[in-house]
């Protein structure tokens, strides 16, 4: 099970703004995915927005707040801690759902295009998902990502950021019918996921940039994130 990039067979990375890449994927979904299936996903997003998960999370872990300390294994099982990242400078922390999500794949490929610039600014980039180490390894290898994919088993870190929700039963059935077996992918029977979110953490652990959205097809532009990394106060 994997999502194949729309540009996987091309000669280089897709350098368009993320909003344009997402618009292309939304257009494909509108054209090829049955309307009743689209409606299930739309209802799930609307329910999450009604709960105000993103606003609540950013109210607690927003700009100026201190990021929770963590230590998580990466795609190779190597432990990566917030302390070790802060020891190098600022870092970018991106929460994604998993390699099965086409919007997560597009975001990771777009972030990969600015990974070198983030490093040149003396900062680090890491992505976090609840998928297993094996799934994270496959994702990084398939999409040739230049940064670590951290394994947040049972969404422990995402929960500290207030990002976790349980996939509704209606949507669970849809995922099962399309071979998105989250209990297998995540090694966890809970059917819990994080809403997508991105943070830039300063050297002292304070959050400089924060973005979260219940709609998985809405993510910040990589250049926005890079600007926050490069901004000197």
Provide the residue-wise pLDDT of the chain in tens; the chain has 233 residues: 344 444 444 556 777 999 999 999 999 999 999 999 999 999 999 999 999 999 999 999 999 999 999 999 999 999 999 999 999 999 999 999 999 999 999 999 999 999 999 999 999 999 999 999 999 999 999 999 999 999 999 999 999 999 999 999 999 999 999 889 999 999 999 999 999 999 999 999 999 999 999 999 999 999 999 999 998 65
73 within 8 A of 80, measured Cβ to Cβ: yes
DSSP 159-194: HHTT-EEEPPHHHHHHHHHTT--HHHHHT-TT-EEE
| Main-chain phi, psi angles of 194, to 5 degrees | -90, 145
State the helix-helix crossing angle for 53-60 and 35-51, rounded to 10 degrees. 40
What 3-state class would DSSP assign to 136?
helix
The number of beta carbons lying within 10 Å of the beta carbon of residue 93 is: 23
Q: What residue ranges define each of the domains in the chain, with the CATH number in brackets?
A: 24-230 (3.40.30.10)
Query: Which residue reads 């700009």 in tokens?
Result: 63
């Amino acid at each position: 099970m994997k999502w194949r990039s729309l540009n996987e067979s091309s000669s280089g990375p897709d350098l368009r703004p993320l909003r344009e890449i997402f618009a292309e994927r939304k257009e494909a979904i509108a054209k090829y995915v049955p309307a009743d299936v689209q409606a299930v996903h739309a209802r799930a997003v609307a329910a999450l927005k009604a709960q105000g998960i993103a606003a609540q999370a950013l109210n607690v872990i927003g700009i100026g707040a201190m990021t929770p300390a963590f230590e998580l294994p990466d795609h190779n099982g190597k432990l990566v801690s917030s302390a070790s990242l802060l020891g190098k400078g600022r870092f970018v922390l991106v929460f994604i759902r998993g390699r099965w999500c086409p919007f997560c794949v597009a975001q990771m490929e777009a972030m990969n295009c600015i990974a070198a610039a983030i490093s040149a600014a003396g900062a680090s980039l890491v992505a976090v998902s609840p998928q297993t180490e094996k799934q994270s390894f496959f994702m990084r290898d398939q999409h040739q990502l230049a940064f670590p994919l951290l394994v947040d088993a049972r969404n422990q870190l995402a929960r500290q950021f207030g990002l976790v929700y349980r996939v509704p039963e209606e949507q669970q059935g849809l995922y099962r019918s399309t071979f998105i077996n989250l209990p297998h992918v995540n090694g966890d029977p809970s059917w819990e996921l994080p809403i997508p979110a991105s943070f830039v953490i300063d050297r002292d652990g304070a959050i400089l940039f924060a973005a979260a959205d219940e709609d998985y097809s809405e993510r910040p532009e990589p250049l926005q994130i890079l600007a926050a990394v490069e901004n000197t106060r």
